[in-house]
Chains A and B, each alone.
Chain A
């Protein structure tokens, strides 16, 4: 049973398109995250939601819009894709936002913008 699952695994699209990545966790966690990992393997936080409420919003272009329909799901919609958006996007979850537990990561979505 996959704890944090993301779809799709791979996404290849052209500049200017709009795309979405979906994430679901079955761990019963309250907090979910989106991280971006660039070509140098550097992982950087984008957003965090706790019980469907946005609690962290780093300096991310407003072309990126997260949505959390319930605490088990956190989706990421990206408008007007650019070449620089190419990266691996990881969803993660943790038991709470206080920070007493580790993050559990999904397997990532590799986005390639051509």
Chain B
């Protein structure tokens, strides 16, 4: 069965700090890994990673995948209070469209 483990489970940082969120996985016939941000309602899509070593970047957020070691990291630089959310990592096997999610990392950014 596919499995996703995220760490840490929760994190409190000060505005301006840089954070790194971790995601390790086990999946049959890996196809892609996705990161989502969930505030109060719908998870919103951040990144989809399919190849090792290629960094995806969007503003202060970036992510990279290591298919050999089966993990991904999500970096957020110069954090802001608006970054406070649950960050979800999910993997997708090559044989099905479904995503298997981790339990998420709850990030709180304080002033």
Find the A residue at minimum CB distance from B40: A107
A33 to B103: give the CA distance in the assembly, Å.
19
Known A-B contacts A102-B48, A103-B45, A106-B42; the reply to A42 vs B97 at CB < 8 A is no
From 57 to 111 in chain B, residues with beta carbon under 8 angstroms from any chain A beta carbon are 86, 88, 90, 92, 94, 96-101, 103-104, 106
Known A-B contacts A48-B98, A56-B96, A56-B97; the reply to A41 vs B48 at CB < 8 A is no
A55 to B96: give the CA distance in the assembly, Å.
9
Q: Are A90 and B42 in contact (CB under 8 A)?
A: yes
A42 to B31: give the CA distance in the assembly, Å.
21
Find the A residue at minimum CB distance from B86: A41
CB of A75 within 8 Å of the partner chain: no
Q: Are B45 and A41 in contact (CB under 8 A)?
A: no
Chain A residues within an 8 Å CB radius of B32: 99
Cβ-Cβ contact count across A and B, 8 Å cutoff: 59
Contact of A97 among B34, B43, B97, B106 (CB under 8 A): B97
Q: Are B97 and A108 in contact (CB under 8 A)?
A: no
Known A-B contacts A41-B103, A104-B45, A105-B43; the reply to A33 vs B98 at CB < 8 A is yes
Q: Are A45 and B98 in contact (CB under 8 A)?
A: yes
Chain B residues within an 8 Å CB radius of A58: 98
CB of B38 within 8 Å of the partner chain: yes
CB of A82 within 8 Å of the partner chain: no
From 9 to 45 in chain B, residues with beta carbon under 8 angstroms from any chain A beta carbon are 31-32, 34, 36, 38, 41-45
Contact flags A88-114 to B (C-beta < 8 A → 1, else 0): 001000101111011111111000000
Which of A97, A104, A105, A107 has the most chain B CB atoms inside 10 A of its CB? A105
CB of A31 within 8 Å of the partner chain: yes
Q: Which chain A residues have a beta carbon within 8 Å of chain B's beta carbons?
A: 4, 31, 33, 40-45, 48, 50, 55-56, 58, 90, 94, 96-99, 101-108
Given contacts A106-B42, A108-B41, list 9 more A-B pairs with CB under 8 A: A40-B103, A41-B103, A42-B101, A42-B104, A90-B43, A94-B97, A105-B36, A105-B42, A105-B44
